[in-house]
Amino acid sequence: MINYTNILRQHNLKATPQRLAITDILHVQGHITIESLYEVMVKKFSSISLATIYKNINLMLENSFIQEVKIPHAKSVYEITKESHSHLACEKCGEIQDIIIDLDNILNEVAKTNTFKVNSSDLVLSGICKNCQ
Amino acid sequence: MINYTNILRQHNLKATPQRLAITDILHVQGHITIESLYEVMVKKFSSISLATIYKNINLMLENSFIQEVKIPHAKSVYEITKESHSHLACEKCGEIQDIIIDLDNILNEVAKTNTFKVNSSDLVLSGICKNCQ
DNA sequence: CTGGGTGCAAAGTATTTGCATGAAC
DNA sequence: GTTCATGCAAATACTTTGCACCCAG
């Protein structure tokens, strides 16, 4: 288990128990919706407010400590920022997995044939995961 | 200009003036947010309700006449369903363009190395469009 | 004529804001 | 001690629902 105290401070965020819980949950779960995060947090902090969840998620988004992943036909999930990667979204159980896919060829093609300058790519593959098959 | 009367009927939707306007706007604009669609519609139907917009968008989504495209850091846009394709999203002006990218190689790789069964893929490339460079 | 569509108002859901108290550093 | 975070309540934003009236077929 990583200790996120210093990492939070590096992002100009005080290391409160609530924030440490959020980072731990994100670390363990990988991807989580606001709703699920709140449900898990309530178990540890019975009087936590949804406002606190939103404020912290928004602060962490602003300084790029975490990122939002928009999933077709489902709620957004949040994850700790890491190297660029794509996502697998199970249409049955809702599970989101990271997957490293090399998009260089594609990005090079776009660079050649288009005048559009690509800064980032977001790819989500929807389907059925191993467990649900 | 395509006449969407029969196309709407084929989707079990009566061809009302409001719906014909929505289909025309989608056809011309390509991609549009709920908000912008409402603004354009108000010019033609001064007393149109947002509820009518939402009801129609939801009906058209249900029968797959249109699709929602989720854009990172921006509002969702809606487009008339067509062959599978990807999107370019300009981070400056917000413009969304269609782009045909062959993802077969990638999907084959995933099929080989993963146990995940892919049904569909959603790729958005964010960056700066021609006009904004 | 009949069923479905529209517009309005109200309800529901999601997210943000203001502020007093309290905790981090 | 000072700054910033939390939790509550209220406000705002977004989306859906119920219903009376109206129009497409």
The model carries a pTM of: 0.96
pLDDT value at residue A51:
98
Does residue A66 sit in the same domain as residue A15? Answer: yes
Domain extent at residue B37:
4-80
DSSP 3-state of B30: coil
- Contact call for A120 and B71, based on CB within 8 A: no
| pLDDT given at position B114 | 76
Residues A58 and A108 in one domain: no
Contact B34, B48 (CB under 8 A): no
- pLDDT grade for A114, boundaries at 50, 70 and 90: confident
Residues B58 and B101 placed together within one structural domain of the fold: no
**B33-57 burial string, b = 16+ CB within 10 Å, else e?**
bbebbbebbeeeeeebeeebbeebb
Q: Would B108 be classed as within a structural domain?
A: yes
Q: Residues whose CB falls within 7 A of nucleic chain D?
A: A 13-14, 16, 18-19, 45, 47-49, 51-52, 55-56, 59; B 5, 9, 14-17, 34-35, 50-51, 54-55, 58, 76
Q: What is the mean pLDDT of each run of 10 residues along chain B (133 residues)?
A: 95 98 98 98 98 98 98 98 98 97 95 91 97 94
Distances (CA, A) of B5 to A53, B37, B78: 47, 19, 19
Residues B10 and B68 grouped into a single domain: yes
pLDDT class of A24 with cuts at 50, 70, 90: very high
Maximum distance among all Cα pairs of chain B, rounded to whole angstroms: 55
Instruction: Tell me how many domains chain B contains.
Output: 2
Domain shared by B39 and B73, yes or no: yes
H/E element, B97? strand B96-99
Query: A38 and A15, same structural domain?
Result: yes
Strand partners, A96: A89
Residue B133 domain flag: no
